[in-house]
């Protein structure tokens, strides 16, 4: 039985965070296309709990729940920031100033400076791109299946590296940087590329686009650390590896929080009274 519940209704997933009677934190999610499952979950065991909502689909969920009581709402970015600060504390990470990238359906980029925060921008390249383009390239619709298969792929014949172009010429920049994501499909040997290779290359696009934007934002605001969150990192070690090495390469420190996708839900939970 939950006493307090935070719900982050996002474009793809509705994330739920709650405390039980023993103050133990629990996390779960449902597809946002299945509000019925969310409603059933609340009604089955937790109808007496106090709820706080956040996320782009919060209003839609509120209407769907048809609650007699008005359900409190917290602005998404405030909730996310509160959830990030809570997790930093839990994980004993001391971080005053950082860029925060929320890799959800799309990606939103923020500057955290002490208690305050501001949105800097974002990109439509995100988790939705992974499952959408991934489906076009392979026909696979399951997120788990897609990220598992991507792990066994190789980007060698998918991408073109700076070193592929410069070969033995003196390199003007790091040769291991990607010169062209997916350019190798058109320009490299006719070698057969597998679904795994395509998915691996796709993870490369997402990780490198997001990391590049964050690095530029970090440079512009004199920040050394980038905190990456969002459910696109859930069980997704390959994406984390890509982001980590790109961020390190540009001499910034990447931070991944344990409960990637749940910052918004945890932030809403902290607000529930």
Residue 231: both structure tokens together: 């459910």
Nearer to Mg ion, 11 or 175 (CB): 11
Nearer to ligand ADP, 160 or 208 (CB): 208
Cα–Cα distance, 228 to 109 (Å, whole number): 9
Q: From the candidates 21, 43, 59, 76, which is the catalytic residue?
A: 76
Stretch that binds Mg ion, among 8-16, 40-48, 128-136, 249-257 (CB under 5 A): 8-16
Pairing of strands 178-180, 160-161: antiparallel
Choose from ligand ADP, Mg ion, none: what does 181 bind? Cβ within 5-8 Å by kind: none
The answer to the question of residue 207 lying near ligand ADP (CB under 6 A) is no
Question: Hey, CA dihedral for 249, 172, 205, 82, is it positive or negative?
Answer: positive
* Residue where the block lists tokens 């590296």: 161
Nearer to Mg ion, 105 or 200 (CB): 105
Pick out residues in 95-114 that bind ligand ADP (CB under 6 A).
104-105
Phi/psi at 116 (nearest 5 deg)? Answer: -100, 160
C-alpha pair distances (Å), 162 with each of 125, 167, 184, 204, 227: 23, 8, 12, 15, 27
Residue pair 84/76 in contact by the 8 Å Cβ criterion: no
Provide the minimum distance between the beta carbon of 238 and ligand ADP in the complex, in angstroms, as a whole number.
12
Minimal CA–CA distance to 107: which of 213, 192, 3?
Answer: 213
Residue of 6, 127, 207, 254 interacting with ligand ADP (CB under 6 A): 127
Nearer to ligand ADP, 184 or 207 (CB): 207
Stretch that binds ligand ADP, among 91-99, 159-167, 207-215, 229-237 (CB under 6 A): 229-237
Choose from Mg ion, ligand ADP, none: what does 175 bind? Cβ within 5-8 Å by kind: none
Residue nearest to ligand ADP (CB): 10
Residue 229: both structure tokens together: 């969150």
Q: Is 76 a catalytic residue?
A: yes
Nearer to ligand ADP, 127 or 201 (CB): 127
Question: Where do the H-state alpha helices sit in 46-100?
Answer: 58-65, 76-90
Residue 71: both structure tokens together: 């359900």
Choose from ligand ADP, Mg ion, none: what does 262 bind? Cβ within 5-8 Å by kind: none
Please tell me what DSSP assigns to residue 159. Answer: S
Site residues for ligand ADP per CB under 6 A = 10-13, 104-105, 127-128, 130-131, 143, 230-232, 234, 261
Catalytic residue list: 76
């Amino acid at each position: 039985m939950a006493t307090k519940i935070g719900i982050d209704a996002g474009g793809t997933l509705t994330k739920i965070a709650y405390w039980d009677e023993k103050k133990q934190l629990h996390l779960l999610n449902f597809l946002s296309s299945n509000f019925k499952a969310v409603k059933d979950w609340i009604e089955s065991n937790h109808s007496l709990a106090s709820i706080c909502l956040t996320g782009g689909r919060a209003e839609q969920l509120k209407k769907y729940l048809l609650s007699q009581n008005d359900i409190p709402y917290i602005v998404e970015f405030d909730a996310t920031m509160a959830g990030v600060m809570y997790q930093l504390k839990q994980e004993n990470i001391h971080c005053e100033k950082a860029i925060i990238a929320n890799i959800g359906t799309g990606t939103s980029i923020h500057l955290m400076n002490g208690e305050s925060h501001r949105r800097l921008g974002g990109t439509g390249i995100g988790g939705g791109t992974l499952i959408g383009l991934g489906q076009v390239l392979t026909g696979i619709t399951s997120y788990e299946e897609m990220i598992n298969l991507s792990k066994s792929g190789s980007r060698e014949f998918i991408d073109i590296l700076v070193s592929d172009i410069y070969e033995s010429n003196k390199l003007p920049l790091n040769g291991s940087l990607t010169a062209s994501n997916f350019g190798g499909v058109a320009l490299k040997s006719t070698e057969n590329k597998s679904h795994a290779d395509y998915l691996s290359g796709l993870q490369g696009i997402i990780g490198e686009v997001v990391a590049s934007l964050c690095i530029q934002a970090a440079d512009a605001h004199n920040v050394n650390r980038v905190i990456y969150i969002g459910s696109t990192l859930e069980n997704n070690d390959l994406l984390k590896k890509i982001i980590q090495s790109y961020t390190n390469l540009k001499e910034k420190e990447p931070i991944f929080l344990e409960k990637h996708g749940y910052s918004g839900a945890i932030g809403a939970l902290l607000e529930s009274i």
